[in-house]
Amino acid sequence: MTRLSTWIKKHLGTGPVSNKQSAEKPPFLPTPRRPLTPAEFESLNTNGVAIQRQPSQCLFFTKVPDDCRHMILMTAFGGRALHMDLIFDVSPSPKLMEAGQTSISRQKVWQYRGAVCDRPNWRLPETGRVLRYNWTGLWNDQCMTRIYEGKQLPFDAEKINIMGFLLSCRQAYTEGIHILYSSNMICIQSKPLLLHLPKLMPSERLASIVSLEIILEPEWILREDDGLIHDFDNVKPILDNVAQHCHQLRSLCISIFVGSQRDIIIDGPALPMIDDFYRAMHAQLRDMRVEVPFHTYRACTVTPCSNSHPLEAPDNQTLSKSIWRALDGEEATNQFRSLANFPKPPLRLPISHDGDERSLSAGYWLTDGDMALPSHVRRVPVNASDLLPEL
């Protein structure tokens, strides 16, 4: 028996395994992956997207028509904004948090965190003035702060509450997981998740995302004079991941944090990178907005031309307009345009003599955000010793 036990430990690797995880090694998906819902046959949902069908004895799947079942699942699990993030932090203890105490464990592990976003007016009609000034992006989102810090569990209203349905049977998982990703706005703040998106989320899930919000936060690097500047090298890989894997994406919001360097976005590589990203995604995107720090927004130079369209109602109020970054030509131009069609694009300017007056402009909205990072996001270093502890 001793020899058998020794052989098993040697060849099957059943010896003691360390549970310590590394911040440099996120929990990548295994290759190859074991299919949870093997393909039997496919059908088209109401959006025309092929989804797998599995044999099921449940009356909900055998008796309820597909369109009615889709409406039921949409009502139960769709139409919300959902946080999906991956963080490396101390694992919280639910029992201690329910008692109002923090976890006593100090060992950091990789954890997926998620909740329903409670930012206001998510269900309001898509009227320009409402969405432009009442619905802001992730820079103004505080609903995950206490959850990210591990101090409190999500409230009942913040729980996604879909896991029980997904685990009930294969067909429930197949249809439910598609609804979850395709009918909700997915909000991602975690930099490791954004940088390694195809290695951490299945390609089928990424291809189902229709509406997305992300944060772009450039790295701090140390200059020769011990000063700190932003490095945008990690921005392009994040944008490339979205462009290459989110094939059904129709709506996108990008929030940019740049600390105290106000003009780094205007004079730096960020907006040209986003311009190239939009041009690559132009065929599928319906609307896109980029939130920049307040002072950056105020410093943007608007093209000195007539920015009124004959088919748009005249409105000279500042709150009825916003900066539109037009990409109709080779060079990008900033126009101060009416919000009548927000978040969708305004009509194209200038109008060509032989062109269609009703054609939409190519580009994205620039809106004003904030320079302050949420408390659950890594704080901005104030000196070299904060960035490099060994100094």
Best CA proximity match to 206, nearest among 255, 242, 237: 242
Neighbours of 70 (CB within 10 A): 20
The residue among 281, 287, 226, 223 whose CA lies nearest residue 252 is 287
pLDDT digits over 127-155, tens only?
A: 444 456 666 677 767 766 666 665 566 67
3-state helix, strand, coil split of the chain in percent (to 5) is 30, 20, 50
Give dist(CA 291, CA 369) in Å, integer.
Answer: 5
Q: Which of 52-56, 108-112, 377-381 comes out lowest in average pLDDT?
A: 377-381
How many Å apart are CA 160 and CA 77, to the nearest integer? 8
Q: Write down the pLDDT at residue 121.
A: 46
Q: What is the mean pLDDT of residues 302-312?
A: 67
Per-residue pLDDT tens over the stretch 276-292: 999 999 999 999 999 98
Res 7 pLDDT > 70: no
Element (H, E) at 4: helix 2-12
pTM of the complete model: 0.78
- 8 A C-beta contact, residue 201 and residue 228: no
* Residue 311 CA, distance from chain mean position: 34
The phi, psi pair for 8, rounded to 5°, reads -65, -45
- CA–chain centroid gap for 85, Å, is 9
Highest mean pLDDT among 5-19, 164-178, 350-364: 164-178
Quote the CA–CA distance of 285 and 190 in Å, as a whole number.
23
Q: Is the pLDDT reported for residue 353 higher than 90?
A: no
Output phi, psi for 68, to 5 deg: -70, -40
Q: Which residues contact 147 (CB under 8 A, 6 or more apart)?
A: 113, 115, 153, 154, 158, 376
With vertex at residue 324, the alpha carbon angle to CA 322 and CA 329, rounded to the nearest 5 degrees, is 160
For 2, 27, 93, 297, 375, the CA distances from 103, given in Å and listed in that order, are 40, 22, 5, 41, 19
CB within 8 A of 292, min separation 6: which ones?
256, 265, 300, 366, 367, 368, 369
Calpha distance 361→77 (Å, rounded): 34
Flag whether pLDDT at 338 surpasses 60: yes
pLDDT band at 115 (very low <50, low <70, confident <90, very high): confident
Residue 226: count of CB within 10 angstroms of its CB: 11
Highest mean predicted confidence (pLDDT) among 6-15, 179-188, 221-230, 249-258: 179-188
Tell me whether the omega of the peptide bond preceding residue 65 falls within 30 degrees of 0, making it cis.
no
Backbone angles phi, psi at 73, to 5 degrees: -65, -35
Looking at residue 310, its pLDDT comes to 67
Q: What is residue 129's predicted lDDT score, i.e. its pLDDT?
A: 47
Q: Do 47 and 135 meet the contact criterion of CB atoms below 8 Å apart?
A: no
Strand partners, 287: 251
Is residue 341 within 8 Å of 315, Cβ to Cβ? no
Burial grade of 49 (CB within 10 A; 0-12, 13-18, 19 or more): middle
Q: What is the mean pLDDT of residues 183-192?
A: 92
How sure is the predictor about 17, in pLDDT bands with cuts at 50, 70 and 90?
Answer: very low
